[in-house]
Amino acid sequence: MLKIGALASLAGVSRDTLRFYEKHGLITPDTRTDSGYRLYSETDVYRISFILSAKEVGFTLNEIHQLLELEVTKDDKSCHDVKQFVDNKIQVVNQRLGEMEKIKQSLKTLSNACCGGDEPATHCTILGALSVQNR
């Protein structure tokens, strides 16, 4: 049984983060001492590790919450369910990637049109382009 500080240092997060995750349903202490201290099991280190790994590949805490539910109920879930969840996320990431690519192109167009010289920017095409109502 680990107290919050022990789990925190084993898992590499702060005590505050653990309490935050608890508030958001990502982890719960197994019990409490009589004085109210949280007591975690050793396997919770892996649970935190799961959370951190999932965060690293771009899942939000909310999505991780859903993933953890998949994990807990994995006897009732199929690989199909899990894979679909990930594939969904890939779609979302792809979409966002497309948007950012468009933004980058717009910025490049803007930048390329500007002379970049040392004269006053009164004639600057960037400032000009932004001032115009485009849609």
Partner DNA sequence: CTTGACCTTGGACTATACTCCACCCTTTAT
Partner DNA sequence: ATAAAGGGTGGAGTATAGTCCAAGGTCAAG
Spatial neighbors of 111 by CB under 8 A, at least 6 apart, are 126
114 interacts with a copy of itself by CB under 8 A: yes
Question: In this complex, which beta carbon is closest to a copy of itself, that of residue 33 or of residue 66?
Answer: 66
Binding segment (CB under 8 A) for a copy of itself, from list 1-9, 15-23, 24-32, 114-122: 114-122
Token digits of residue 83: 């894979």
Query: Which conformational region is residue 116 in: left (phi greater than 0), alpha (psi within -120 to 50 degrees), or beta?
Result: left
Which of Zn ion, a copy of itself, DNA, none does 61 bind, CB closer than 5 to 8 A by kind?
A: DNA
Q: List the Cα angle 82/84/86 in 5-degree steps.
A: 75
Asked if 7 contacts 45 with a C-beta cutoff of 8 angstroms, the reply is yes
Interface residues with a copy of itself (CB under 8 A) are 46, 49-50, 53-54, 56-58, 67, 70-71, 74-83, 86-87, 89-90, 93-94, 96-97, 100-101, 103-104, 106-108, 110-111, 114-124, 126-127, 129-134
